Amino acid sequence: MQVTGTRQREAWVAGEFPPVEEVAGGIWSIPVPIPDNPLRYVLTYLIEHQSGFLMVDPGWNHPDSWTTLTAGLATAQIPLPAITAVVITHVHPDHHGLSRAVQEQSGAWIGMHEREDAWLAGLQAEPSAVRTGLAQYMRLSGAPPGHLAALAARQPSGGPAQGMARADRTLVHGDLLDVPGLTMRAIWTPGHSPGHLCFHLPDRGLLLTGDHVLPRITPNVSVYDLDSSPLDDYLDSLAALRGISPGEVLPAHEYRFTDLDARLDALAEHHQERLDEVSQALASAPDGLPAWQVALRVSWSRPWDELGPFQHQAALGEVSAHLRHLERHGRARRTEADGTTLWSSLPE
């Protein structure tokens, strides 16, 4: 893998904010801050077409983020009314939070994958059911009682999904976006979220990967319901990108790079290593472990005690995704004991 966004990478290493850049003719990258988050910013992209500009992932809904986004547009000399479409890789709030504000100022339509819109609709329609489901998941996972309380204490009232814009147009795998003079195809890449999309511009040799493929870190792959196997989805989605071979990859965080297939290999290898770690944890406890205890036994970027409630939650979700993958492939099984799900290894 070779870094092409050298100024972005220099800023990342220095702990600074990267510049607004024209990354290719008529394609701009605007970093939009994510308050109090180690990822620091999301890269919002503006892509020129015959009638204006298409925006990808406007960023987090916060006054500082809005100020930075509009200042970036001014630097690129793109007036807000020139934005005719806003498309979303996925509805996590650091990507989709400002979509409604952009739409209100520009009149742009908002597009996302149909599963992402349905997921957002469910979060907004029954917030109490979401909280109840989360509490049930915590109990089944063996999380300590204080974890859910700590998580709720840092969560805005109603959750970040409340107030986020629904889709005007839903997209499915293979759709060409309806903008004049631009060939841009949606590629469904579930795993990080149920309806995550990448966007391929074959005429320009570019692939926008959202959070699906990042140059340095591995995106979180967590369970998002009680039944799915998102790691299987994610690994299949990585494989689906092989052979596209874009000249440059434009991710939603960090910096631009080339040699997509090498990065796909590294991501798949990381998850295999995590699967091995989870398997070893299960093998060390013949009577079985709840997912929370498995999470305590695998390695993270920092010691467990240095992670906050949201990071603990992400780690638990990722371990749960790996456990479900092992179960689906006949390497683990689950049993219920006193309201907790216990996971144990099966011989290969």
- The CATH number of the domain holding residue 39 is 3.60.15.10
Q: What average pLDDT does the segment 307-326 reach?
A: 93
| Residue 313 lies inside a defined structural domain of this protein | no
Q: What is the pLDDT of residue 73?
A: 98
| Residue 274 lies inside a defined structural domain of this protein | no
Mean of pLDDT over the chain:
93
Residue 169, helix vs strand vs coil: strand
Going by pLDDT thresholds of 50, 70 and 90, the confidence category of residue 106 is very high
Q: What is the pLDDT of residue 85?
A: 98
Q: Which residues contact 155 (CB under 8 A, 6 or more apart)?
A: none
Other CB atoms within a 10 A radius of the CB of residue 170 amount to 16
Going by pLDDT thresholds of 50, 70 and 90, the confidence category of residue 36 is confident
Q: What is the pLDDT of residue 159?
A: 65
| Residue 332 lies inside a defined structural domain of this protein | no
What is the domain range of residue 56? 2-124+156-269
**Nearest partner of 204 among 47, 8, 45, 29, judged by Cα:** 47
Q: What is the pLDDT of residue 129?
A: 75
Q: What is the pLDDT of residue 174?
A: 96
Assess contact for 216 and 1: CB atoms under 8 A. no
What value, to the nearest 5°, has the Cα angle with vertex 95 and ends 68 and 193?
165
**Nearest partner of 167 among 220, 113, 92, judged by Cα:** 113
Going by pLDDT thresholds of 50, 70 and 90, the confidence category of residue 226 is confident
Provide, rounded to the nearest whole percent, the portion of the chain with pLDDT above 70: 97
What is the total count of domains within the chain? Answer: 1
228 pairs with which residues across the strands? none
70-79, 118-127, 155-164, 284-293: least confidently modelled range: 155-164
130-134, 208-212, 265-269: least confidently modelled range: 130-134
Q: What is the pLDDT of residue 149?
A: 80
| Residue 46 lies inside a defined structural domain of this protein | yes
Other CB atoms within a 10 A radius of the CB of residue 166 amount to 15
| Residue 331 lies inside a defined structural domain of this protein | no
pLDDT: is 187 or 134 the higher one? 187
Going by pLDDT thresholds of 50, 70 and 90, the confidence category of residue 310 is confident
Tokens 């957002």 correspond to 120
| Residue 305 lies inside a defined structural domain of this protein | no
Going by pLDDT thresholds of 50, 70 and 90, the confidence category of residue 158 is low
82-96, 204-218, 277-291, 296-310: least confidently modelled range: 296-310
Answer yes or no: is pLDDT of 155 > 70. no
Provide, rounded to the nearest whole percent, the portion of the chain with pLDDT above 90: 83
| Residue 275 lies inside a defined structural domain of this protein | no
Answer yes or no: is pLDDT of 157 > 60. no
pLDDT digits (tens, 9 = 90+) for 230-263: 999 999 999 999 999 999 999 999 999 999 999 9
Q: What is the pLDDT of residue 156?
A: 53
Q: What average pLDDT does the segment 121-128 reach?
A: 83
Q: What average pLDDT does the segment 89-101 reach?
A: 97
Residue 54, helix vs strand vs coil: strand
| Residue 263 lies inside a defined structural domain of this protein | yes
